[in-house]
Structure 1
Amino acid sequence: MDNSVSKEVQILYKNLLDAWNNRNARVMADLFTEDGESIGFDGSQSIGREEIFSHLKPIFDDHPTARFVSKVKDVRFLSSHIAVLRAIAGMLPHQQTTINPKVNTHHTLVVVKKDGNWRIQLFQNTPAQFHGRPELVEQMTEELSQLLK
């Protein structure tokens, strides 16, 4: 697949994280397809733009959410209109400058192109706790911390 198309998918992911980091539930929800799905870090599931918005709005209204720092690891095209993006992400707690390794995560997006626009069909935010392997947590945190320099 063309590198510029891969960039379009990566920009969609960046826009998703920017919406989170700017605490904008409407913008974040609108990046999804009408029946898109979001699975949160805690396992909560929201299906459809309006449910995603309704889930996110009180989080942003009532909590000082941490900011994402991420690194795209792979973009794989299943067809010219369907792609899977995998990334790793860490979070900077409110008013802090170092990543909290307890909430490192793997992000997976399934994106589809409809009417000329890429939209998120599925966003899954999976904890990267690496049970019993603290060196992997440290390795991921270091890789993400390099992005802050």
Structure 2
Amino acid sequence: MAEPNEIKELYQQLLDAWNNRNARGFAEQFTEDGESIGFDGSQSIGMEEIFSHLNPIFEQHPTAKFVSKVKSVRFLSPDTALLRAIAGMVPPGKSDINPNVNTHHTLVAVNTDGKWRIQLFQNTPAQFHGRPELVEKMTEELRQLLK
């Protein structure tokens, strides 16, 4: 039986690739037909498209680093898992989270031939329109991870 830590490790490898600005490493966490939906709604399908989308971003822009906290891992079947996390971003040259880009991460992982890969990763803005106290609560929860 699969363990939640296997799914958390897959998610951490994805974030490590992002934080290291490694488009190939990011894309390689996905299945051949896996999907990535970015913060701005950009959708990339398949490892090569994910790589082609991210590579110029990493080459041309200093990207912020993710700080995240896994909130849950649920197995939908022995070979399918759902991970939910919250994340914030620390801009280049800064030491604090930018609350304007807090996000919810949703990851669906599948086990194929004994290897966990990402089928879907969605990065949804956590704007909480009209409820600034929720933005602050999430930001504070993530700031605890910076200490």
Pick from 106, 115, 119 the counterpart of residue 121 of structure 1: 119
Cα RMSD over matched residues? 0.7
TM-score by length of 1: 0.97
Q: 2:8 is aligned with what amino acid?
A: Q
Q: How many residues align?
A: 147
Aligned residue in 1 for 2:146 = 148
Ranges of 4+ aligned residues in structure 1 off by more than 2 Å: none
Aligned match of 2:76: 78
Distance between the aligned counterparts of 2:140 and 2:116, measured in 1? 31
Using the size of structure 2 for normalisation, the TM-score is 0.99
Cα deviations by residue, 1:33-90 (Å, 9 ceiling, x for unpaired)? 0000000000000000000000000010000000000000000000010000000000
Structure 2 Cα separation of the partners of residues 79 and 26 of structure 1: 29
1:92-145 CA-to-partner distances (Å, cap 9, x unmatched) read: 000100000000000000000001110000000000000000000000000000
- 2:93 counterpart residue number: 95
Q: Which amino acid aligns with 1:52?
A: I
Structure 2 residue ranges without an equivalent (≥5): none
Residue correspondence of structure 1 range 1-149 to structure 2 within 5 A: 5-149=3-147
The sequence identity of aligned pairs, in percent, is: 76
Between the aligned partners of 1:142 and 1:128, the Cα distance in structure 2 is: 14
Three-state SS of the structure 2 residue aligned to 1:140 is: helix
Paired residue secondary structure (1:135): helix
Counterpart Cα distance in 2 of 1:78 and 1:11: 18
Unaligned regions of 5+ residues in structure 1, if any? Answer: none
Look up the equivalent residue of 2:9 and give its one-letter code.
Answer: I
Q: Distance in 1 between matches of 2:81 and 2:140?
A: 28
